[in-house]
Amino acid sequence: MSIGKIDSVVTPGGTRLAVQWDDGRRAEIDLAGVIAGHAALAALADPDVFAGVQRAADGWSIEWPPCGIDFGAAQLRRWADEQAGETMPAADFRGWIERHEMTLEVAAAALGLSRRTIAYYLSGEQPVPKTVMLATEGFDARAAA
């Protein structure tokens, strides 16, 4: 499936974006973690700057022109899917751990993550990123070989 163009973007408050794509998908995306994790995005921590988000003229990205920051439609869709638990729901992640009879420590070591991160994914407190979903699939493929 092709990721479509962005029809609209608004800021409902804080560091959240409400995005609508041309395929009808609507999602709210919280960028707090992204902003906090990247010094180059520090300008977006200012509520007035963040509220100045615009849809790019071609619809393939959103941007904050005064600070030269932009995010593409595909990246926004990935974050939306992850935050909605659609990439790998917590129940699926728990099932993967249980199928392999792993403890939190063993799962963390297998995926190169901390025990705390595994616990966050299991509880649903943090969404399971696509990279982790792919790592579980790779683990399964190697185990089957």
Q: Which of 38, 59, 83 is the last residue of a domain?
A: 83
Strands 26-30 and 16-21: antiparallel
What whole-number distance in Å separates Cα of residue 45 and Cα of residue 34? Answer: 10
Cβ contact 28:15 at 8 Å: no
Q: Please tell me whether the overall predicted TM-score, pTM, comes out greater than 0.85 for this model.
A: no
Range of the domain at 108: 90-144
Q: Which pLDDT tens digit goes with each residue over 39-89?
A: 999 999 999 999 999 999 999 999 999 999 999 999 999 899 888 878 888
Q: Report residue 61: phi and psi, to 5°.
A: -160, 170
62: which strand partners? 55, 71
Q: Do residue 40 and residue 78 come from a single domain?
A: yes
Q: Do residue 61 and residue 121 come from a single domain?
A: no
Q: Is residue 1 part of a domain?
A: no
Q: Which pLDDT tens digit goes with each residue over 86-110?
A: 888 889 999 999 999 999 999 999 9
Q: Is residue 130 part of a domain?
A: yes
The total number of structural domains in the chain stands at: 2
First-residue to last-residue Cα distance in the chain: 29
Give the residue from 136, 138, 145 showing the smallest Cα distance to 102: 136
Question: Could you tell me the pLDDT band of residue 2, with boundaries at 50, 70 and 90?
Answer: low
Q: Is residue 136 part of a domain?
A: yes
